[in-house]
Homo-oligomer: A and B are copies of this chain.
Amino acid sequence: MTAETGKMTVGFIGLGIMGQYMAGHILDVGHVLRVFNRSRHKAEALVDRGAVWCDNLGDVAAECDVVISIVGYPADVEEIYLSPGGILDRARDGAILIDMTTSSPDLARRIADRAAAQGLSALDAPVSGGEGGAKAAALAIMVGGDPDAFAAARPLFEILGKTVSHMGPAGSGQHTKMANQIAIASTMVGVCECLAYAKAAGLSQAATLDVVGTGAASSFLLKGLGPKIVAEDFSPGFFIHHFVKDMSIALEEAEAMQLSLPGLALARKLYRQLVEEGFGEEGTQALIRAYAGIVGGNHAA
C-alpha cells in the first residue's frame, strides 16, 4: 500500500455478474486492480478500464495487498485458496484475503487457520443484496475473522456495500449469511403457500397480496416476489440451484451443532424437487411450482 494515497493493489478473483460490478467499483476509486477469472472474456470490460489481467490466480495473489474472491461453490473456494499454487501458496506477507462467496463456515475457519499459520489474515465476508446491490454498491456485507484485519479491510468493504457488520471470529460472516438464507427459505414457503391457497380458493391473488401486504404477514419477499409469482414470471433474481447450495451448507452446519431445522429441511426438499424437474435456472419465486396445479391456471379447486 502507498501510505500517502491509501491506494492499494487489490486482486479480484471471480468475475461473475456480482464480481464484475464489485471489481469495477474498486477500480473506480483508483486502486490498482489485478484480475483473474476462469473465463477470460468476462474480464475484458475491466481490462479496458485499466485492470491488469493475470494468467492464473497465483499471479494475482503474489502481487496484492488484498485479495478478494467471489466464486460459485465451496469446492471452488477450497480450490482457489488451498490447492498448490493457489492463493495461500502465493500470497505475499501481510496480505489480507477476503472470500465473499456464500460458502461454508467450516471451510472459512480452515482457510483462516492456515492463513494465520502463514502470517496472513483471511476474512469471510459474504454479501446479500444480489445483482442490484452489487451494481449500486449497496450490498450488506457480513464479516467474520480477525478484528484488526476487518478494520484494515473496512474501507474496501465500504466501497462495495451500505451495511458492513463484523459478526465475530472466522466463519461468523458465513454463519450470518446462513441465518439470512434460513429466514428466506421458510418465508418463501409461506409466500408461495399463501398465494397457492388464494388461487385455489378462487380469490384474486393480486388483491390477496394487497391485503396481506398491509399487516403481520408482510415481508420483503411477499412484496418483491409475490407480484412475479402472480404474473408467473420465473426469471432469476437468485437462481434456485444457488439457493439449494446455501440451504445444504446451513443444514450441514446445523446438524454439526445438533440443531434440527425442519422448516429449512422442508424448503430444501421442495426446491430440490424443482431442480430435479429442470427448474434450477429459474428464480427462487418458482417455488410456487411445488404447489400442484397452481401454475398455468389448471388448479384442482
Contacts and interface: CB of A to CB of B under 8 A. Distances in A.
B186 A263 contact: yes
Given A197-B250, A211-B180, A253-B201, A300 B187 contact: no
Number of copies: 2
A111 interface: no
Contact of A190 (B130, B182, B301): B182
Interface stretch (A13-21, A28-36, A93-101, A214-222): A214-222
Interface residues of A, number: 74
Interface of A: 105, 128-130, 140, 142, 162-163, 165, 167-168, 172, 175-176, 178-187, 189-191, 193-198, 200-204, 207-208, 210-212, 214-222, 224, 238, 250, 253-254, 257-264, 266-267, 270, 291-292, 294, 299-301
A128 B216 contact: yes
Nearest to A212: B180
Interface of chain A, helix or strand or loop or mixed? helix
A167 B257 contact: no
A195 B258 CA distance: 15
Greatest chain B CB density within 10 A among A142, A182, A185, A214 is at A182
A200 B222 CA distance: 28
- Which 4 residue pairs across A and B have the least CB separation, nearest first? A186-B190, A219-B219, A189-B263, A183-B217
B259 A301 contact: yes
21 contacts: A140-B215, A163-B211, A167-B204, A172-B201, A175-B197, A176-B198, A179-B201, A183-B190, A183-B222, A184-B217, A189-B190, A189-B262, A197-B253, A197-B259, A200-B254, A201-B253, A216-B224, A259-B292, A259-B299, A263-B263, A266-B266
